[in-house]
């Protein structure tokens, strides 16, 4: 995913009220920006570290800039804008990077489905009427890094995550394919697992989902001011 214009470098000061953060621009101005992340952002909030922000160029917006990349411990980069995850995965599927999700002729996003009024991030299907199996892909952004390159999800208790797991299980039981896709926007993560201590209910349900046939994929991204791109699959174990 090319970023045009490139992201601007700033210095992170603090995050508060979940959706706000204060940063210092390179010219010394201190401003408040939008934080597009509803999670705890554990291990991504390092005061006085560099961050990268995008300019909306929209004078009607209350907060002109959006936080895109944080500096995590060890000077690693973490892409904290969860709204980019779906586009990154779509791009990786369309370019053929994600071998596991090739062979479908139709790709849709944000399609209503399920018994709990959900929207699937990506729906893959065939145009041919004799091929009825669909592939439901739920995308999650991973930014919580722990020891030795280990990434954890979720970074806070996620009732929404439980809902999505229930929906994916139902898809498999109905005869379709269901995939939980971890979009790892963190340069220090080399493998992903469940965050048992943070949300044991989610971890237990994920194991149940895998047992009934829900597939799990984890792909890692490279991040810089000009481009964020998924590059390779990394191990997942729960």
pLDDT computed for residue 59 by the predictor: 87
Residue 36: pLDDT over 60? yes
CATH of domain 82-233: 3.40.1350.60
Q: What's the topology of domain 8-79?
A: OB fold (Dihydrolipoamide Acetyltransferase, E2P) (2.40.50)
Residue 106: pLDDT over 70? yes
Please state, in angstroms and as integers, the Cα–Cα distance from residue 156 to each residue in 40, 142, 198, 200, 201, following that order: 6, 12, 6, 11, 11
Q: Which two tokens stand for residue 48?
A: 């006085």
User: pLDDT tens-digit profile of 123-138?
Assistant: 999 876 556 689 999 9
Residue 147: pLDDT over 90? no
Residue 8: pLDDT over 90? yes
Domain with CATH 3.40.1350.60 in the chain: 82-233
Q: What is the pTM of this model?
A: 0.95
DSSP the chain: -B-SSPPEEEEEEEEETTTEEEEEETTS-EEEEE----S--TT---TT-EEEEEE---TTSSS-EEEEEEEEGGGEEEE--GGGHHHHHHHHHHTT--GGG-S-SEEEEEEEETTTTEEEEEEEE-SSTT----EEEEEEEE-EE-GGGEEEE-SS--HHHHHHHHHHHHHHHTT-EEEEEEEE-BTT--EEEE-TTT-HHHHHHHHHHHHHT-EEEEEEEEE-SSBEEEEEE--B--
Residue 142: pLDDT over 70? yes
pLDDT computed for residue 128 by the predictor: 60
Domain with CATH 2.40.50.580 in the chain: 8-79
């Amino acid at each position: 995913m090319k970023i045009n214009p490139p992201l601007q470098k700033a210095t992170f000061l603090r995050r508060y009220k979940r959706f706000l953060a204060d940063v210092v621009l390179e010219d010394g101005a201190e401003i408040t920006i939008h934080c597009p992340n509803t999670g705890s952002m554990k291990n991504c909030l390092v005061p006085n570290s560099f961050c990268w922000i995008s300019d909306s160029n929209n004078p009607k917006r209350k907060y002109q800039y959006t936080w895109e990349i944080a500096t995590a411990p060890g000077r690693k980069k973490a892409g904290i804008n969860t709204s980019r995850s779906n586009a990154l995965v779509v791009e990786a599927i369309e370019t053929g990077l994600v071998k596991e999700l090739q062979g479908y002729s139709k790709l849709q996003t944000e399609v209503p489905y399920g018994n709990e009024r959900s929207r699937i991030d990506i729906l893959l299907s065939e145009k041919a009427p004799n091929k009825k199996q669909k592939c439901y892909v739920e995308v999650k952004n991973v930014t919580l890094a722990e020891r030795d390159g280990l990434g954890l999800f979720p970074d806070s208790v996620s009732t929404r995550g439980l809902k999505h797991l229930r929906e994916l299980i139902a898809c498999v039981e109905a005869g379709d394919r269901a995939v939980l896709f971890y979009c790892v926007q963190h340069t220090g993560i080399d493998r992903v697992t469940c965050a048992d201590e943070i949300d044991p209910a989610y971890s237990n349900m994920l194991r149940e989902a895998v047992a009934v046939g829900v597939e799990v994929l984890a792909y890692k991204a490279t991040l810089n001011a000009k481009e964020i791109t998924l590059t390779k699959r990394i191990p997942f174990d729960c």
